[in-house]
């Protein structure tokens, strides 16, 4: 789909003038932005399914909070798209919701969906000509990392079909778990800022979450995964870190 941007080398938006930006990069960002907000009906049905089959009220509340964030992100991208192009974004995709085979499969699907979204949003951010909009997309990326942490918690809890055996962890609420794993989220954000590719960041981050689910402390999980990469015990981690 070809997108027409108002202006070529210089772009005016209200009182703002963007000079020296890469028109092709912005065009790519806008195309990805258009793509990112498609499939709203399918997403709505997917979240409704997960909430309806979630085994606990806590699970339902976690998924509902993620759904609300995603709705907000869509609105932010739509506004940004219109600010740059003067055009409304229309959902042109046909409704094609396929119910997952199970709740746990749906959670796994959602978890890897976050990974794909972060990769796409990173590309969107790279092509934006101003700090304000790049900061907005960075905030969205941060939310996606938090979503991944929540989905990883749900996946681990339901996959093992039992609570972590460490007695001090049994009574943790979802918010307790989010606070408990804040160290890992902060480390992941620092990796993103350092320019480490997001495939590698997510591989490490998800592995650490699995270890936390098995009873490791966040710091122990971090040190264990870093050791796997450093010593070559995990060749896949070493390989993914080399991806540009």
Q: Are strands 16-18 and 11-13 parallel, antiparallel or unpaired?
A: antiparallel
Residue in this structure with the two tokens 């609105």, named with its chain if needed: 75
pLDDT for residue 202 is more than 70:
yes
Long-range contacts formed by 7-12: CB under 8 A, 24+ apart: 11/84, 11/129
pLDDT reading at 4 higher than 50: no
From first CA to last CA, the distance across the chain in angstroms is: 27
- The 10s digit of each residue's pLDDT in 7-53 is 444 444 444 445 556 788 889 999 999 999 998 888 989 999 999 98
The yes or no reply on domain 1-162 and CATH 3.40.50.800 is no
Query: Does residue 5 surpass a pLDDT of 80?
Result: no
- Distance from C-alpha of 69 to C-alpha of 14, rounded to nearest angstrom: 28
Q: What is the pLDDT of residue 10?
A: 45
User: For residue 138, which of 64, 204, 206, 198 has the smallest C-alpha distance?
Assistant: 198
Which pLDDT belongs to residue 165? 43
- Per-residue pLDDT, averaged over 117-140, amounts to 92
Identify which has the larger pLDDT, 235 or 15. 235
Element (H, E) at 118: helix 103-126
Q: In Å, what is the CA distance from 206 to each residue of 52, 79, 152, 203? A: 25, 32, 7, 5
CB atoms under 10 Å from CB of 138, counted, come to 17
Cα gap 97→42, rounded to integer Å: 5
The per-residue pLDDT for 15 is: 41
**What's the confidence (pLDDT) of residue 210?**
83
Residue spans of the domains in the chain: they are 1-162, 172-243
What is the model's pLDDT at position 20?
A: 54
Query: Residue 81 phi/psi, 5° resolution?
Result: -60, -45
Give yes or no for a contact between 204 and 149, defined as CB atoms under 8 angstroms apart.
no
Q: For residue range 50-90, what is the model confidence (pLDDT) as tens digits?
A: 999 888 889 999 999 999 999 999 999 999 999 988 889 88
In 127-234, which ranges are continuous DSSP H helix? 131-160, 174-180, 182-193, 198-213, 218-231
Bigger pLDDT: 115 vs 214: 115
Taking only the tens place, the pLDDT of each residue in 138-181 is 999 999 999 998 998 898 888 765 444 444 555 677 888 788 78
Find tokens 């951010």 and name the residue. Answer: 125
Query: pTM of the prediction?
Result: 0.62
Spatial distance between the Cα atoms of 91 and 68, rounded to a whole number of angstroms: 19
pLDDT at site 9: 42
């Amino acid at each position: 789909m070809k997108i027409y941007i108002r202006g070529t080398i210089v772009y005016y938006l209200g009182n703002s003038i963007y000079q020296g930006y890469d028109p092709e990069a912005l065009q790519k960002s806008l195309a990805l932005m258009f793509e990112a907000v498609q499939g709203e009906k399918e997403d709505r049905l997917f979240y409704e399914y997960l909430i309806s089959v979630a085994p606990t009220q806590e699970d339902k509340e976690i998924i509902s909070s993620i759904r609300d964030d995603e709705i907000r992100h869509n609105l932010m991208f739509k506004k940004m798209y219109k600010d740059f192009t003067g055009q409304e974004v229309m959902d042109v995709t046909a409704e094609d919701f396929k119910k997952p085979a199970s709740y746990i499969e749906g959670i796994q699907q959602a978890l890897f969906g976050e990974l794909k979204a972060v990769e796409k949003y990173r590309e969107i951010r790279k092509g934006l000509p101003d700090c304000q909009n790049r900061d907005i997309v960075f905030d969205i990326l941060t939310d996606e990392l938090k979503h991944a942490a929540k989905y990883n918690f749900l996946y681990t809890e339901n996959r093992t079909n039992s609570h972590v055996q460490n007695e001090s962890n049994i009574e943790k609420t979802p918010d307790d778990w989010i606070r408990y794993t804040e160290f890992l989220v902060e480390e992941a954000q620092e990796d993103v800022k350092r320019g480490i590719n997001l495939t590698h960041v997510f591989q490490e981050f998800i592995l650490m979450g699995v270890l936390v689910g098995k009873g490791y402390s966040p710091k122990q999980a971090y040190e264990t995964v870093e050791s796997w990469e450093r010593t070559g015990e995990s060749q896949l981690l070493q390989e993914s870190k080399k991806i540009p």
